Structure 1
Amino acid sequence: MTKTHIYFMPGLAAGPEIFENIDLDKSLYELHLLQWIKPLALEETISNYAMRMCDKIKHKKCVLVGVSFGGIMVQEMSKFLDVKKIILISSVKTHHEFPKRFKVASMSKLYKLFPTKLVSNFEDYAKFFLGKSLKKRAKIYKKYLSERNETYLKWSIHNVLHWQQEEPLPNTIHIHGTKDHVFPVQNISNFIEIENGTHVMIITKAKKISEIIHTTLTT
C-alpha cells in the first residue's frame, strides 16, 4: 500500500516539537516535520518565502498540515505544489476570519512596537511577569518556542497581519477549537469543531486531532 505523505508546519515561533503527540498509523502515513527558515530580509514577501519552503517538499499529492501562522504558510505553499489536501489547525482560511484587533494593529502599525525580545529571550523575561504557579508552564512554553531569531519574528508578525487571502482554497479542511482566543471561533466558518480546544490544542488535544486527520484522509 502506498503511504500518504503528510508535511507538518508549526505555528509562529514554534518548532516541530509541537507535533510530538500526533499519533497516526505508520502503515498508512509517513510524517515529515517542517521548520521555519530565516527570511532573506524583512521585506521578503510571504509568497517568495513560501516558494523557498517548497524546496522541503519531496512528494507530489502530499497533505500539508499547518498550525496557526503555519496554516497560513501551507496555504501559500500549496499555490506552488500539487497537493492532495490542506489541513488547518487553529488557523484562518482568509483574512476575513481575523479578529478586529488584527485589522487595527495592521492599519495602525502598532505591531512594530511588539517586544520580540520577550520571545527571543523568553526564559530571561518569564521570571518577571509569571508567578510561581506559572513557572512550570513557562518551561513548557520554552520547549515549544524554539524559533527566536528577531528578524524571523518581526517578519512573521508583519506577514500574519498583512495576509490578504480573499477566498478559501479548495481541498482545505479546517480544525478549530471553541476556546481559541487568538482566532476566536465566532469569526471562523466551515470548520471541524473541537470542544474546549484552545490555540495550543495541537499539544493538549493531539489525540482528537489525530483522529480527525485520519478520518479526513480516509473518507
Structure 2
Amino acid sequence: MKVYCTSGIGADYRLFTHLRLPEGFEVAYIHWIPPVENEKLPAYALRLTQQIDTSEPFILLGLSLGGIMSVEMAKHLHPVCTIIISSVPVSAQLPRFYRMAGNLGLGKLVPASLLKAVTTVKHALMMRPAVNRQLMMDVIRDGDDQFIRWALTAVLEWENTEIPQPLFHLHGTRDEVFPFRLTTPTHIIKKEGHMFLVSSPDIVNRILSDILLPFAAAASPGSALPSIQNRTPA
C-alpha cells in the first residue's frame, strides 16, 4: 500500500530520508507545484490530489504544512487513514497570533529570506548529528522563495473545522511552530521539537509501524479498522 508523504513549507522529500515503513507499505512523495495567484490552501491541496493514484488503497502522511495539506486532501479523497506529524488538523489549533497575522495580511510582508535565515540558525545550533544538520541546511537553501511566501500566507489564512477519520497525529511537547498545548495529538513525543522526524526517526518509525500494521491486516475482506488510542506518550 502506498503512503503518500507531503513535506513542510519550503522543504521537499528529503525530510523523509530516515523514514522506514513496515513491509507491505511503499513511500510515495507529493511534490509541491507552483501556486496560482491568490490561491487558497484548500484549492491548492485539491490540485495536489492529482498526484495520487486513487484506484487502489492509499494512506496520506504529512509533515508540518504537509500535514495540513494531507487533511485538506483527505476531505476530497478516501484514504485508508491520514497521519500528520508536527502539524494541526484544524485551524482552531493554530496560535491566536497566527490567525491575527492572517487577518492583517502580515504573511505577505515577511521575506522568505528572513524565514530561511531564522530556521538556518536554529538548526545550525540545535540539530544533531552533523549529517542531519547538513540535511536541514541543504533543504532550507533549496527552498523556493515564491512558494514560501505563498505558503506562509495560506497557512495564516487557513480555515478548517473538519477532521478526516481515522486520523493519527504525532506531536512533540516542545514544538516551536505549532505549540503542543493547543493540540490534541493521538501520539505524544516527549521532549521533542518540530523536526523530530529528522532528529528522532527511530521513535517515529516505531509509532508508524504500530499504526500501519493493523491496516495491512485490515486489507482482507471483513476485517475491521483499528481504533485510535488518544494522546499516547512516546
Q: TM-score range by the shorter chain?
A: 0.7 to 0.9
Per the alignment, residue 151 of structure 1 pairs with 146
* Letter matched to residue 154 of structure 1: R
Counterpart contact for 1:72–1:92, Cα < 8 Å? yes
Identity, in percent, stands at 26
Alignment-derived partner of residue 25 in structure 2: 29
- The aligned residue for residue 80 of structure 1 is 76
Higher normalized contact order (CA 8 Å, seq sep 6+, divided by chain length): 1
- Counterpart amino acid of residue 11 in structure 1: G
SS of 1:103's equivalent in the other structure is: helix
In the alignment, is the contact (CA less than 8 A) between 1:14 and 1:146 conserved in 2?
no
Work out the number of aligned pairs and report it.
Answer: 209
SS at match of 2:80: strand
Distance 1:85 1:133, change over 3 A: closer
Output aligned runs, 1:68-147, within 5 Å.
68-118=64-114, 139-145=134-140
Which sits farther off after the overlay, 98-107 or 174-183? 98-107
Q: Give the alignment's Cα RMSD to 1 decimal.
A: 2.6
CA distance in structure 2 between the aligned counterparts of 1:138 and 1:218, rounded to whole angstroms: 31
Question: Quick one: which amino acid aligns to residue 82 of structure 1?
Answer: H
Match of 1:50 in 2: 45
Residue 105 of structure 1 contacts residue 111 of structure 1 at CA under 8 Å; is this kept in 2? yes
CA-CA distance at 1:94 after TM superposition: 0.6
Whole-Å Cα distance in 2 between the matches of residues 101 and 119 of structure 1?
17
Alpha-carbon deviations, 1:66-116, whole Å to 9, x = none? 011110101111122221000000000111111122122122322222111
Q: TM-score scaled to structure 1, two decimals? A: 0.85
Q: Which moved more, 1:49-58 or 1:110-119?
A: 110-119
Gaps of 5+ in 1: none
CA distance in 2 between counterparts of 1:20 and 1:140 reads 9
